[in-house]
Amino acid sequence: MQASGDAHKDPHPAHESAFIHNAEWLRGLGESSDVVISSRVRLARNISGFPFTPRASRIDRTQILEVCKRRILTIPTTNSTKPSSQFIWIDLHQVGREDRDLLVERQLISRQHARGKLSTGKGGLDEPRSVAVLIPDEHLSIMINEEDHIRLQTIRSGLALGACLAEANAFDDLIEAGMDYAYHPRFGYLTACPTNVGTGLRLSVMLHLPALKLTGELEKVRRAAQDMGLAVRGFYGEGSESPGEFYQISNQTTLGKSDDMLLHEMEREIIPKVVGYERHARRNLLTSRKQMLEDQAWRALGTLRHARLMKVEEAMELLSLVRLGVLTGILEGICTEQIHSLLLNIQPTHLQRTLGTVLTQQERRIARAQLIRTQLDTGSPSGSSS
């Protein structure tokens, strides 16, 4: 992986120092962070004069990479949250699977981008494609040659769509100052998928909704979201599952609505309602089914502290219940930061990177259980029991 200050060096496939800390979006801070894990803003842009990525030739896609690289690596980062911030540029077709999977687990690239698959079904691991990541916070990444030439995203902890949008727009303006985007005076920004035409804006939040699942109300909320034209996806976005009741909710269309309209709908109307439903469900569980909730939380914690084999999906389900127990006051002595750190570090690639070796599936299950025991076995937390 290559830093902007080393633009002429070959990318190093095992760049250890860039991604050694918890991702910014897992800090567990910010507005409504008891329910909202993170907020993300994504802008889809294309460069005028080039075919859209699915229709572009390999030569076109290589040229797009070079145009974007020259522009992005010259953008000043002095206005970002940390003065020491810099972009690293990663050519995904030149690094190994472990590095690509690590970026997926940290929510910096999509699974589709990691695989190099185009929407036409063609493509593969050798497809020219890259990502630029602003480190050390990782709150901004720019995918090159995904479905669109440029997919710029900002991601932050808690409900922070407004802050994400402001930063995304600021960096988008800096990029556009050095190149011409494909833009139509009537339709707005032109994109490979018609649903993104207009602002090219996708607003999404990751929500933790375990109480709605326990009270049997989750499916009702999911249907209501879909009826409002929202997409409901799993932990890693489109096509992924939702172990632990972690869901991403986002707008699906952008044409005919301004940035401000989309932001107001999501940040001040839709998401607060879902947050309210989850909080109401938690209060109901504490009032009418407290013993059941205590049993679920304590069983989950006990399993995590004593299991010798652990699949990633099972671990996320159990950590979800422990997080609910902590936030409802049933479990004490554990902080959400511990849980969030584990949510990332139990993922297959992070687990192997931590141990510095490639593991078989069985070895990962053993190592995952041991990691969880080590992190959570710090004495029995106090809490109510019935």
Q: Is residue 333 part of a domain?
A: yes
- Tell me: the pLDDT tens digits for 357-373? 999 999 999 999 999 99
Domain end marker among 179, 208, 237: 208
**What separation in angstroms does the CA of 379 have from each of 219, 297, 334?**
37, 16, 10
Among 105-114, 290-299, 362-371, whose mean pLDDT is lowest? 105-114
How many residues are there in the chain?
386
Identify the pLDDT of residue 28. Answer: 85
Q: Determine what percent of the chain is predicted with pLDDT higher than 90.
A: 71
Average pLDDT estimate for 243-258: 86
Identify the pLDDT of residue 257. Answer: 83
Q: Is residue 217 part of a domain?
A: no
Identify the pLDDT of residue 20. Answer: 63
Residues 167 and 53 in one domain: yes
Residues 156 and 10 in one domain: yes
Identify the pLDDT of residue 237. Answer: 61
Q: Is residue 118 part of a domain?
A: yes
Residues 202 and 315 in one domain: no
Residues 197 and 327 in one domain: no
Q: Is residue 197 part of a domain?
A: yes
Residues 189 and 330 in one domain: no
Return mean pLDDT, the chain: 88
Q: Which domain holds residue 82?
A: 2-208
Identify the pLDDT of residue 163. Answer: 96
Residues 46 and 159 in one domain: yes
Total Cβ atoms within 10 A of residue 26? 22
CATH number, domain with residue 141: 3.30.590.10
Rg, Å, the chain Cα set: 21
User: With contact defined as beta carbons under 8 Å apart, do 169 and 79 qualify?
Assistant: no
Q: Which residue has the higher pLDDT, 55 or 234?
A: 55
Domain end marker among 208, 241, 271: 208
Residues 299 and 153 in one domain: no
Query: Total domain count for the chain?
Result: 2
Residues 202 and 57 in one domain: yes
Residues 31 and 171 in one domain: yes
Among 14-18, 115-119, 244-248, whose mean pLDDT is lowest? 14-18
Residues 293 and 184 in one domain: no
Q: Is residue 230 part of a domain?
A: no
Q: Is residue 87 part of a domain?
A: yes
Q: Closest Cα partner for 141 from 72, 67, 234? A: 72
Identify the pLDDT of residue 382. Answer: 46
Q: Is residue 226 part of a domain?
A: no
Q: Which amino acid is at 163?
A: A
Domain end marker among 149, 173, 208: 208
Residues 30 and 142 in one domain: yes
Q: Closest Cα partner for 74 from 59, 61, 84, 89? A: 89
Q: Which residue has the higher pLDDT, 34 or 15?
A: 34
pTM of the predicted structure, to 2 decimals: 0.88
Residues 333 and 186 in one domain: no
User: With contact defined as beta carbons under 8 Å apart, do 367 and 360 qualify?
Assistant: no
Q: Is residue 92 part of a domain?
A: yes
Identify the pLDDT of residue 378. Answer: 56
- Tell me: the pLDDT tens digits for 146-161? 999 999 999 999 999 9
Helix 361-376 / helix 312-327 crossing angle, nearest 10 deg: 20
